[in-house]
């Protein structure tokens, strides 16, 4: 698993980061069709982790509340309708490619330097098993982290919600 489209190097507190983080899932399995079939048993989740030399909180609860947007995704096959030219070219470049995950419209609500950690979670062992029904029963099978993102605070945001460290505050 690798991040093929990184987040921007900088972002503004409380504002949607432009673009999407795109993660590619690859396999070492000789039978690519088996790997693609197994990908329905996996889900990916994005989480915020402190970046290098940051005064940002290391408390997981604070970090979880500081990241918003689409933080969960399933594995999309490369031939998925959502794929565009850049996604399709990834399949050509890697014969072991299984699919991709997208994390658009992410918002970081606290200033600091962070990375986005993408964790691949196995939610069941086969398509015939029932999915995991309660939090904590999945199995993390792989993790990748983005390049650092410097999130700058201050300034005004037009018609956007800002985060003051504890509450979302509407600004106009």
CB 144 within 8 A of CB 101: no
List, for residues 47-81, the tens digit of each pLDDT value. 999 998 877 677 888 888 999 999 999 998 876 54
Q: What's 82's domain CATH number?
A: 2.60.40.3960
| C-alpha–C-alpha distance, residues 14 and 128, integer Å | 41
If one counts the domains in the chain, the total is 1
- pLDDT bin (cut points 50, 70, 90) of residue 160 is very low
Predicted confidence (pLDDT) at residue 115 exceeds the cutoff of 80: yes
Beta bridge partners of 47: 117
**Contact 99/76 with Cβ under 8 angstroms?**
yes
Exposed/middle/buried for 71, CB within 10 Å: 0-12, 13-18, 19+? Answer: middle
Q: How many CB atoms lie within 10 A of CB 79?
A: 11
CA distances from 15 to 126, 130, 152, 159, 168 (A): 39, 38, 10, 10, 12
Question: What's the domain range around 122?
Answer: 2-170
Banded model confidence at residue 29, pLDDT cuts 50, 70, 90: confident
pTM recorded for the entire structure: 0.76
Looking at residue 133, its pLDDT comes to 58
pLDDT at 78: 75
pLDDT range class, residue 18, cuts 50, 70, 90: very high
Q: What are phi and psi of 87, to 5 degrees?
A: -70, -45
């Amino acid at each position: 698993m690798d991040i093929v489209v990184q987040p921007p190097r900088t972002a503004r507190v409380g504002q949607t980061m432009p673009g999407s983080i795109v993660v590619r899932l690859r396999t070492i399995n000789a039978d690519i069709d088996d790997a693609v079939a197994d990908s329905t048993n996996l889900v990916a989740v994005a989480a915020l982790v402190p970046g290098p030399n940051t005064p940002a909180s290391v408390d997981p609860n604070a970090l979880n509340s500081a990241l918003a947007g689409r933080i969960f995704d399933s594995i999309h096959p490369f031939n998925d309708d959502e794929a565009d030219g850049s996604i399709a070219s990834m399949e050509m470049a890697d014969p072991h490619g299984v699919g991709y995950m997208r994390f658009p419209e992410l918002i970081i609500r606290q200033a600091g330097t962070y990375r986005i950690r993408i964790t691949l979670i196995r939610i069941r062992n086969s398509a015939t098993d029932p999915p995991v029904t309660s939090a904590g029963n999945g199995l993390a099978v792989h993790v990748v982290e983005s390049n650092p993102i410097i999130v700058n605070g201050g300034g005004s945001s037009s018609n956007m919600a800002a985060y003051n460290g504890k509450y979302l505050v509407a600004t106009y």
